[in-house]
Amino acid sequence: MLELSNICLRSSDSVPFIHTFAAGEISVVLGANQSGKTDLCRLVAGLNTRASGNVCLVGTSLDRVSPRRRPVSMVYQAFVNYPNLTVFDNIASPMRARKQSSQTIVQAVNDLAEKLRISELLGRFPHELSGGQQQRVAIARSLAKQAQVLLMDEPLVNLDFKLREALEVELRDLLRATNTVVIYTSSDPRDAFNLGDQLLLLADGEKVQTGTPLEVYQKPNSMVAMELLADPGINRFSRDGTSCALRPEHIGVQDGKITPAGLMSFDMLVTAYETNGDESFVHGQVEAQEWVMRSRGMLPVHAGQRLTVAAASQDVVHF
Amino acid sequence: MAGISLDNLSFKYPGAQDATLSKLNLNIANGEAHALLGASGAGKTTLLNILSGLLRPTGGVLRFDDLDVSNQQGRERNVAQVFQFPVLYESLTVAENLAFPLKTKKLQSKVITQRLDYICSELELDELRSVKPAKLSLFQKQLVAVGKALVRPDVSLVLLDEPLTAVEPRVKWRLRQTLRRVQADLKVTMIYVTHDQTEALTFADRVSVLTAGGILQTGTPEEVYASPEHEFVGHFVGSPGMNFLPANALGVADAERVGFRPEWATLTGNQPSSAQKRGHLHGSVLRIRVQGAKAGKPFGLVTMATSQGEIAIRGYIPDTSITAGDSLGVCVHRCIGYTNELKVSDIEFL
């Protein structure tokens, strides 16, 4: 258990917050660029940062512990490995630093290499690897340290799409099997669902909301929270003086002119249509706001078209 | 503007065992937005370098309209390129950056002003004219880089090399839409290189899927997604990609394997039917990934182990109490038959 208190991530005028990360689960820290995600990681690791606050691991304060003595390991967005060491030696390095027996090291490295599917690369040097392979090595090395806290600062953001998809599933299974505090930062709401057991939403250096991904998704405490966990954004409107919002996936094209009970309908002027095959994104104007609708599959929709779109009243979030 | 044609175009790096590109054939129409989609190592960058003239093909012919440019210098081709990360002159303002490619061409100042006005209004950069790059967001910087590529009046081809990599996920679509709009307005031939299917399928009129130096399929986004000609295309496009099983798993006779998209199947509750029906399967739940809920009903991705392999199914989760290990039935509505990795049939189950 990692307890943070008195945390100011960006400047002294932001509201300090407390937060507890549990061991054995993945905590996704979700926030836009510059929201303080990296500062949070650096604070926990004891590195230079503008963030301030107290860090306490299983009842012991880390505040006066030097970075190199903290039981913390970190994986960065960039692929950081020792260029002069082979993959084997890269992974072994944190264990060698702790003077573990060579027998233990060989076994642990082989074990990790197998889990991350880099066994056949152990004799190579980092420059002989692809980006995805390099990041696997960095992840294996961070796990070899067997630290109590694992910080992953957008580790998959620079990877190819398909590779990322595969590594996400592997990472999730691998990390949950360890009894580690895992802090995984991201700006992509999909990571929250794909990886997160728990969520911490950050905006402008402040804590916005916490909970399981589904809790935060279903009961966002503010527009900001709703927006952070929305892919790609939220749709605002107002009814009877209250601000309301809908998630893009909660809106669909309405068949026919009559709106069934329990649904709300809106007129949308389509401004753009995008698809990745799996899903379609229809951007448009509704009540002078920019909206986006997300549907499964591809739709016969084009810019300039007028659509009647509808959503279930129970999916409307009121603020 | 020019139409681009590749005629058995090949490239082998000196000393390499295998060709990086082998016998590519592709015709891109004048004014077309074309995407080259492939994983890293597929040869995308090599092909871009050949198009821009940094590399010369070792076999075959590259034509711009009817002109063989295979051995022409890069600067004779009027190709503009936008890179992964915005490349701007930090000491110049936005307007000066945009005017730079025109000044090096020694165009008249009247023409320069005209082009500048046109590009600034097209890309909505007017308010940023006197700003220096250091003050811009990555989105704005990349927009200026796009402007630099489009500002030349004589550009025949614009190459975009994963131009959205550096842009924040939630604003990517805006830049993509701007690109698409400008492409359509200016009727520029654009080739967009990416490993990201959303980028490719959204941006392009037509998509070519590239792997290990060859083109597996060229088609509209709909064709590439809904009707992959090759198993790799089905696997690579889509997240997760197509499910593949031996054809007999679905009772299909005229193919070796069958492929179906995660959303072409539904979960059918706890009791698998005993009789083997065409299009029906059963298996046990491996993972459940809830991705949201609609009108209270959760939806997401369920991964299942069947006797013939692992599959993923996307849609509503029929019963919120299901957990890993539960046995469920699966009903597949449509699949594609493949033999030797190539599409041989398209089957709808009733």
What ipTM did this prediction achieve?
A: 0.77
| Rounded CA Rg of chain B | 24
**How high is the mean pLDDT of chain A?**
91
CB count, 10 Å around CB of B58?
16
Most B-contacting residue of A28, A134, A161 (CB-CB within 10 A), to test interface = A161
B173, B195, B291 member nearest A232 (Cβ):
B173
Q: Which amino acid is at A179?
A: N
Contact B187, B198 (CB under 8 A): no
Which residues of chain B carry a pLDDT beneath 50? Answer: none
Contact A281, A273 (CB under 8 A): yes
Q: Searching chain B, which residue's CA lies closest to the CA of residue A187?
A: B169
Please provide the DSSP assignment of B267-325 as one string. E--S---SS--TTEEEEEEEEEEEEEEETTEEEEEEEEEETTEEEEEEEE-S-TT--TT
Cis (ω within 30 of 0) for the bond into B272?
A: no
Ramachandran category for residue A197: left, alpha or beta (phi over 0 → left; psi -120 to 50 → alpha): alpha
What's the rounded Cα separation, in Å, for the pair A217 and B89?
A: 43
pLDDT band at A28 (very low <50, low <70, confident <90, very high): very high
Predicted local confidence at residue A111, as pLDDT? 92
Any idea which residue has 């790799």 for tokens?
B232
Closest CA to A315 of A232, A254, A241, A226: A226
Token representation of residue B30: 């004048």
What's the rounded Cα separation, in Å, for the pair B70 and B56?
A: 6
What's the rounded Cα separation, in Å, for the pair A155 and A163?
A: 12
Which one is predicted more confidently, A211 or B1? A211
The contacts of residue A115 (CB under 8 Å, 6+ apart) are A140, A170, A174
Q: Dihedral angle at the C-alpha atoms of A260, A248, B243, B249, nearest 10 degrees?
A: -10
pLDDT exceeds cutoff 60 at A44:
yes
Contact B35, B44 (CB under 8 A): no
Contact A44, A240 (CB under 8 A): no
Predicted local confidence at residue A45, as pLDDT? 95
Q: Searching chain A, which residue's CA lies closest to the CA of residue B207?
A: A276
Predicted local confidence at residue B270, as pLDDT? 61
Predicted local confidence at residue B184, as pLDDT? 85
Contact B255, B344 (CB under 8 A): yes
Which one is predicted more confidently, A276 or B218? B218
The residues of B whose Cβ lies within 8 A of any Cβ of A are 39-41, 168-170, 173, 176-177, 180, 195-198, 201-202, 221-222, 224-226, 236-241, 261-263, 287, 289-296, 298, 300, 314-315
Instruction: Give the strands of the sheet with A242-246, arranged side by side.
Output: A235-239, A242-246, A317-318
DSSP annotation of A249: G
| Rounded CA Rg of chain A | 23
Chain A residues near residue B263 by CB distance under 8 angstroms: 278, 296-297
Any idea which residue has 């609609």 for tokens?
B294
Token representation of residue B262: 């995660």
Give the start-end residues of each E strand in chain B. Answer: 4-11, 21-28, 33-37, 59-64, 67-68, 79-82, 157-161, 190-194, 206-211, 214-219, 243-246, 257-260, 265-267, 280-294, 297-306, 309-316, 327-332, 334-339, 342-348
Most A-contacting residue of B291, B303, B313, B320 (CB-CB within 10 A), to test interface = B291
Contact A111, A118 (CB under 8 A): no
Predicted local confidence at residue B218, as pLDDT? 97
Token representation of residue B2: 């020019």
What's the rounded Cα separation, in Å, for the pair B10 and B23?
A: 5
B261, B290, B295 member nearest A214 (Cβ):
B290
Per residue in A82-139, pLDDT (tens digit) is 999 999 999 999 999 989 999 999 999 999 999 888 999 999 999 888 777 898 899 9
